[in-house]
Amino acid sequence: ILNVEQSPQSLHVQEGDSTNFTCSFPSSNFYALHWYRWETAKSPEALFVMTLNGDEKKKGRISATLNTKEGYSYLYIKGSQPEDSATYLCAFRGSTLGRLYFGRGTQLTVWP
Amino acid sequence: EAGVTQFPSHSVIEKGQTVTLRCDPISGHDNLYWYRRVMGKEIKFLLHFVKESKQDESGMPNNRFLAERTGGTYSTLKVQPAELEDSGVYFCASSQAPWGLESQPARGEQFFGPGTRLTVL
């Protein structure tokens, strides 16, 4: 059984606050760690694919870090906006073409 | 470029009926995946096609589920007969083979469709 854990399960913040979530995954047989942003009834949108220990990636106000040795990744959102409200999913991949193992997601609500 | 599309977006059926879900991957993507999210749980893998061949079907819950990808283009997932526990959102994803000529942001990135929400009453 391969477990991917995300915390917190849900988060409510005020517009302008910065926030971060955690994804923990197995540190063995690591190939890639994916972050997706998902709004209900829409396609999960790929944010980052991270492959190297120490990777840091940034897309606008959103950034992510990766530690494959200890098996965790952080997603940061700086200056949250209401349009950032969504469920953020992380997924572990153990091979080039392999299945993704998802966490349950962190549901973010940003209040204006 | 068109993304992954799925049909229908919603389906409500009664227990014991049959439902067929369709996925059209991104053109040229050899790899096609089916996933399912049951309410309150994580998205779980069902199976993986490489072109028309099943590469990994270890996530299929039981023999009431049948997936096909004739011709290596679109795929269908049939549930027959449907049970209450089959309710959930069924996602399809596709990716280009790593040896593809197109560059990708990262190897084997999977692009998702919007899902089909299946409700079994």
Structure confidence by residue, pLDDT tens digits, A29-75: 888 899 999 998 899 999 999 988 999 999 999 999 999 999 999 99
A93 neighbourhood in chain B, CB within 8 Å: 108
- Look up tokens 């061949």; give the residue: B53
pLDDT (0 to 100) of residue B103: 45
B59: helix, strand or coil: coil
CA pair distance A53, A66, nearest whole angstrom: 6
Give the Cα-Cα-Cα angle A31, A37, A40 (nearest 5 degrees): 130
Q: Rounded distance, CA A58 to CA A48, Å?
A: 8
Query: DSSP secondary-structure letter at B85?
Result: G
What pLDDT shows up at residue B105? 44
In this prediction, residue B102 has a pLDDT band, given cuts at 50, 70 and 90, of very low
Identify all chain B residues contacting A23, using CB atoms and an 8 Å cutoff.
Answer: none
Pairing of strands B43-50, A10-14: unpaired
State the Cα–Cα distance between residues B87 and B12, nearest whole angstrom: 9
Which three-class secondary structure state does DSSP give residue B71?
helix
pLDDT in tens, B38-47: 988 999 999 9
- Cis check: omega of the bond before B8, within 30 degrees of 0: yes
Question: Residue B72 above 90 pLDDT?
Answer: no
Question: Mapping DSSP to helix (H, G, I), strand (E, B) and coil, where does residue B84 land?
Answer: helix
User: Which are the contacts of B103, defined by CB distance < 8 A and separation ≥ 6?
Assistant: none
Contact A96 B44 (CB under 8 A): no
Q: In whole angstroms, how large is the CA radius of gyration of chain A?
A: 13
Cβ of B43 within 8 Å of Cβ of A99? The answer is no
- Report the percentage of chain B scoring pLDDT > 70: 90
Band the pLDDT of B100: cuts 50, 70, 90: very low
Which residues lie below 8 Å from residue A1, measured CB to CB, with a gap of 6+?
A: none
From residue A102, how far is each of A18, B29, B36, B47, B85 by CA, in Å? Answer: 24, 22, 11, 14, 20
Among left, alpha and beta (phi > 0; psi -120 to 50; other), residue A60 is: left
Residue count of chain B? 121
**Residue-level pLDDT at B89:** 96
A44/B91 touch (CB, cutoff 8 Å), yes or no:
yes
Nearest CA in chain A to B8: A41
Lowest mean pLDDT among B11-15, B23-27, B100-104, B117-121: B100-104
CB contact under 8 A, B43 and A91: yes
Say whether residue A74 is in contact with chain B using an 8 A CB cutoff: no
Q: Find residue A61's DSSP bridge partners.
A: none
